[in-house]
Amino acid sequence: MARVGIITFLHNDNYGSSLQAYALQRVIRELGHECLHLDYRPDRQEKVRNLLQSRNHPKLILEGIRKRNVKAGRAGAREKSSAIPAFYERYMNLSPVCRNQRELAEQSRELDILVCGSDQIWNPVWLNPAYFLTFAEKKTAKIAYAASLGVKTLPAPAKARMIRKWTEGFRAISVREDEGAALLKQMTGKTAAVMPDPVCLLSREEWEAAAEDGPGGDPYCLCYFIGENPAYWEKVRQIHRETGLRVLVMPVTAESYEQGYEVLDGIGPEGFLGAVRKAEWMVTDSFHGLAFATIFGIRTELMRRYREEDPENKNSRIDHFRRTIETRGLDSLREEGRAWLGKNLQTP
């Protein structure tokens, strides 16, 4: 039995991020290991330092401001933001809060293995060395599980050099998409396995057991959009006209609140699962929205959030997921992911 620590995105108010974190910790525990998530919540100084050192674009600051404005103006968004840490407290083991890499190093000192993943922790748009385990001591084994680069094109040479340096010394590396494996090979010479997102490591029955009952009333079309695009709502109106289904919106953006449809607001991850499970139809631009609709067998209209000509578009993760589901199925992915973790978490 090993003492395992995980680092991933925990505090971006995102259902998919929280549920993939839950799934990975649960599976590692089921494999017989002690496990916790390193509760990385970088302070302002850490964020600014990383923005400059990793040469990330200042537009990330604007994106953060946009999210904070939605939270400030909507009680439901604030309730959701509180519901996700409450979910962690009920179901997961987290370390004390770590505000910087020094504190991450302190909290991981007694661990045998560190795992980074999953989600888009290796996306070149928002590089952060912490998610490459640069704080780890030499004696600690490092593993990447289904770390997603999210993009299809090579980043700027300076960022490629950082990724090459930061991936040195890993015991094993897996990424979430074929495209990410190809990019990593070009940048580092390393061959990475391609493993499924952690949410695929639990069965439909296990996710149903974790879900709340879901909304009552008439059958509904569930809308869950991370981005803003008028075309999303044109599709929703079309489905409503053709089917007569009630429209239920799980809002993320300011635009989602302004469409005049019924809003399912302020729910936690269990409520998200329940809402997806009971939907007749789901319209989403979210990777994890698509993943859970697939797990629950819900008819889905997938909207593409990014233009294909955008070199930073993150469509590869959705394209890869759909390809693998069509060719291999969820059961095969679940078995492969669990086997990979079981093999690479063994202590010498």
pLDDT digit string (tens) for 190-217?
999 999 999 999 999 999 999 999 999 9
Above 90 in pLDDT, residue 75? yes
Residue type for position 321? F
Please give the pLDDT value at position 313: 46
Confidence (pLDDT) at 308: 53
Rounded to two decimals, what is the model's pTM? Answer: 0.95
Give the β-pairing of 262-263 and 281-284: unpaired
Does residue 58 surpass a pLDDT of 90? Answer: no
User: Residue written as tokens 């505090």?
Assistant: 11
Nearest to 306 by CA among 322, 286, 323: 286
Cβ neighbours for 324, distance < 8 A, ≥ 6 positions apart: 196, 333
Residue with the larger pLDDT of the pair 320 and 127:
127
- How far apart, in Å, are the Cα atoms of 187 and each of 106, 158, 172, 268, 331? 30, 11, 17, 38, 32
Q: What is the pLDDT of residues 210-263, one digit of tens each?
A: 999 999 999 999 999 999 999 999 999 999 999 999 999 999 999 999 999 999
Q: What's the CA gap between 143 and 345, in Å, rounded?
A: 8
Query: What are the structural domains of the chain?
Result: 3-203+330-344 (3.40.50), 211-326 (3.40.50.2000)
